Structure 1
Amino acid sequence: MNFIFYDFETTGRNSTWDQIIQVGAILTNENFEEIDTFEKECILKPGTVPEPGALMVTYKIPGKWAPEKHLSHYSFVKLMWEKFSDWKNNYDPIAFIGYNSINFDEEFLRRALYKNLFDPLLTTKYNFGVPGKRGDIINLARAVNIFYPGTLKTTFNEKGKEVYKLDELAPANAVMGEDFMFHDALEDVKATIEIARIIKNGAPILWDSALKTMHKKDVLKFINGEEFLLSSEFYFGTLRTYVVASICEGPKGGMKVFDLRNDPSQFIGLEYQELKKIISEAKPKIIRSIVINKSPILMPPEPEFVCSVVGYENIGIEELSRRAKILKENIQLSSQLKRLISEDVKDEVQDQSDKEPEECIWNFGFAGAQEKALMTKFHSSDWKGKLEIADHFQNLQTNDYNTLQRYKIYSEFARLIVYEEKPEILSEELKAKIRKKLADRIFYPDTDTVRSPWNNSNRAHMQIEKMGNEIEEEGKIYWKNEVPMCGLSKLPTKECNLHKESTKCDCFEYDFLCKIKDLIDEIENEYKDLKF
């Protein structure tokens, strides 16, 4: 199997409203030998207000640093789609892997593709009959020392908990040189590959098991192929491992399993309501869930692994096997557990009427054949042709409510893309409508009870002011006639525009914060004529 290791730098943490500003990706073979590399950066989309804290991590202003390297966001996403698709077509079987990618980077990827009229399920869709696969190194890093103690060196925070941030884990394991620059997408990919190499070499069964859980069908095959197995779950970064046996698939996906710390023979012969009461009130839970579409950490029931799990070390393999057989062979108990699982479903009705198009990636189903054909034509057309396709989406007719909503959303996205790239070909009326909507988002007035889901300029200014005060309180700034109090890299002394008064600042962090403020001011100035 080949791997696409990838990483994004973004304008914030909200995958719906923030955006990718840099991608780094390396295609490797199964031995992590490099086959190809991809790295691109882009400017901000119109109307996007970045989180100052996110930019302070990368120390890059989108579009300002090496501007000749930056693309429009649409062109950036299109090139990324083409490169990743080319790799999939030519190097399958292939898996997309990152560091905390399943919960972060992939969510950004899916929404970037969705908003730019590409298939959002790029990483998991079938390709010539081969299912797409995905994995996440952070989960393996958290689990490896449980099963193979000492494989990775870790640091600890002030609360005594192990830290698995890449910029701390990589230096602790000496995988990169002194000049390595974290929070650059391509550099972070290189660090991720080296952590993966350590895990593969030092924990071979864990690595092989991870390769078997990169697609939900493979996960089900793994679970059903073992009498019982080990399942690791994560709670706010803390790993807990359970020895479990399968019961059945859940009504909303996933696999329901029985925690073998409990002897199922004690439940044989109970009336259903009594069993239901015991199971529902038990802590820790007796029936647990395995999320099968997020590359779960599963391990075969090797004695050395089972004995390393707290709470199971004294039960013994033979006893665990006996308990698993009861679940499989006792039809009455098995039926009762399956009934309990089927009844434990809460129907969630969500009001979708006031959702913005960007928030509807999962709400109205996926594009049908007609929509996909129009999307393909959109990407190959000139800008006037793209605008015509936007109108075509708007004018499509259907009696299906979900399909009609998708038509409207795709039409709006297409027009936003044209506005981003070629606003001069839009009618003045349409251009004014788009500008007004973006301005309303930029200047959205947060209150104590109502906040916009996207970042707005007022919130950004408040964040800048707060961070500036924190930097000053930490003694990282010196003002006129004062002695420097920090050893940070210095930029030439210059007039600082973060505060209203004229001061001089000689602190790298503070200077960069001023540049972020300039960026927010530029965004506001572009739409100030529409400020309500």
Structure 2
Amino acid sequence: MTASSNLIFYDTETTGLLKDFSQILQCGSIQTDRNLDILNEQNLGCAPLPWIIPHPMAMVTNKKTNLFHSNVSHYELMRDLNRQWRQWTIDEPATFITFNGIAYDEELVRRQFYWNLFESYLTNTNGNGRLDILLMMNNVAAFSPDVLNIPLFNGGPGISLKQADIAEANGIEIGDAHDAIADCKLMIGLLKQINAKKPELIDFFLSISTKPGVQAAVQQPGFIGLGEVFRREIFKYPVVPCGNKAPNDLMFFDLSFEPEEIFEMDTQEIYSLVQKPSKSGPFKKYGINKTIPICPSSMIDNKDIFDMDFAILEKRAEQVRGNTDFQTLVSQAMADKIDNWNNEYEHIEQMIYSGGFPSPQDKNLMADFHRIDSAEERIKITRNISDERHRLFAERIICQTYPHEAPEDMLNRYNSLITQRLTEEGPWGSLDEVMLELDKLLEKDNSDETQGILEETKEFLTQRAESLN
């Protein structure tokens, strides 16, 4: 499958690590072509929302205390980000590239598009795909160690896949670490090094940045190299697909196991292995909507990397691919597994995946909300949004944007939200606990820069608490 040549690298700096309640303060994006030449950049920053509690260590890491007093709102940041990404993808779908983004940045961006009435899934719909370089590095460390120097952690034997450590080990200038644009340039530098030695590996990972790309890749003849790094140790598996569960789950079979021995197991034994896959077992489950650290066996240069000949692995792969009854049984076992997800959430920030998609009518109303810059019209639009989640988010935007025009009932809910988040303990954390932690951190022997950031954070949070009185 042809990979996109339109690449968008992005990184975020945030107020904390809580996906549902932390806020993006900065988002940097860089558009490149397939040669990794920079075409465009965007660097956005905004102030914390009135109910957000910035965590002190997050601020020490990102050093963005200057944004405490920004006159740019969070809605404006997400609006401009949405607008720019759509412009960059209007002629050709893009691959959105992050480092550890599948686990964090992607989830933050999705949620905060959702908070601001934008389509949440911009990065993996309409032909767009996602590539997480950290997951790609799992495969590089396992099967292509010659393309990059993989640093040891504290002298070994474990390795480090921390972005800054890999950059330093390969002579890539780190720049202003934990600045979103600087981190994007660091990602580009890492891929340039791989591209110089093994461009086909980058092409392959770009090709599997979408669901159709993954599905096409795993159906190619032969076996696949699956590389994982767990607790700083590298694991290498020869695998082949053996089952799936709609919409996103894919099961691999580890070819270091003799297929015939697994085929001969009774149904209950196979069900148990499939539904509770272990690191030492024959099954490995992945999501096709995320970066999978795989590569075709043809890209593995070291033919002695496994404990058996490639010819044996190829034969075993044919056995698994040819046993449709086994694949059906594995798929059925996956389908029969009951996922005990708790979708009963109290706060709308937590409901991105549990409340369904907006109706066509609500989507049209939200599009009008963004198009019309009028307090009166936006208030009317908000009243007509049927989904309570989106209606309440719209109210928050109105109260922050038009504090003097907002209706009394909306202002009451808005002010109650701020009071709750700043005075009560909840899944968003606790202002009292953060202030106690700040005082302890300020007593340490900090650098002048760290001490200054902590003092600015304390002053900001103190003013935020006093504003309630």
The two structures have a TM-score, normalised by structure 2, of 0.91
Using CA pairs under 8 Å that are at least 6 residues apart, name the structure with larger relative contact order, 1 or 2. Answer: 2
- Which of 407-416 and 145-154 deviates more? 145-154
Change (3 A) 1:12 1:321: same
1:143 CA drift (Å): 2.9
Letter in 2 for 1:16: D
* Cα distance in 1 for residues equivalent to 2:270 and 2:129: 39
1:63 CA drift (Å): 2.8
Q: Deviations over 1:417-468 (max 9, x none)?
A: 01111111123343133212221111114xxxxxx21133112112212322
Letter in 1 for 2:136: L
* Cα distance in 2 for residues equivalent to 1:408 and 1:275: 44
Contact 1:42/1:72 (<8 A) preserved: yes
- 1:67-466 counterparts in 2 under 5 A? 67=70, 70-90=71-91, 92-126=92-126, 131-158=127-154, 160=156, 161-176=158-173, 180-235=175-230, 238-251=233-246, 253-273=248-268, 284-302=280-298, 304-305=300-301, 307=303, 309=305, 313-343=306-336, 345-348=337-340, 350=342, 352=344, 354-381=345-372, 382-393=374-385, 396=386, 407-445=387-425, 452-466=426-440
* Cα distance in 2 for residues equivalent to 1:270 and 1:43: 59
Letter in 2 for 1:182: A
Letter in 1 for 2:112: A
* Cα distance in 2 for residues equivalent to 1:22 and 1:441: 22
Identity %: 24
Residue in 1 that maps onto 2:21: 17
Letter in 2 for 1:164: L
Letter in 2 for 1:167: A
* Cα distance in 1 for residues equivalent to 2:32 and 2:247: 35
Contact 2:153/2:159 (<8 A) preserved: yes
Q: Which runs of 4+ in 1 moved over 6 A?
A: 277-283
Letter in 2 for 1:71: V
1:524 CA drift (Å): 0.6
1:289 CA drift (Å): 1.2
CA root-mean-square deviation: 2.4
- Which of 314-323 and 16-25 deviates more? 314-323
* Cα distance in 1 for residues equivalent to 2:270 and 2:165: 47
Partner secondary structure for residue 222 of structure 2:
coil
**Unaligned segments of structure 1, at least 5 residues:** 397-406, 446-451, 477-487, 489-506
Change (3 A) 1:171 1:321: closer
Contact 2:8/2:31 (<8 A) preserved: yes
Partner secondary structure for residue 25 of structure 1:
strand
Partner secondary structure for residue 102 of structure 2:
helix
Residue in 2 that maps onto 1:48: 52
- Which of 71-80 and 294-303 deviates more? 294-303
**Unaligned segments of structure 2, at least 5 residues:** none
Letter in 2 for 1:457: L
1:100 CA drift (Å): 1.4
Change (3 A) 1:516 1:323: same
* Cα distance in 1 for residues equivalent to 2:304 and 2:365: 55
Change (3 A) 1:7 1:339: closer
Partner secondary structure for residue 52 of structure 2:
coil
Partner secondary structure for residue 32 of structure 1:
coil
Change (3 A) 1:335 1:357: closer
* Cα distance in 2 for residues equivalent to 1:509 and 1:300: 46
Q: Deviations over 1:336-381 (max 9, x none)?
A: 44444444x01425352x4211110011211222111101100111
Change (3 A) 1:155 1:318: closer
1:57 CA drift (Å): 0.7
1:278 CA drift (Å): 7.2
Letter in 2 for 1:5: F
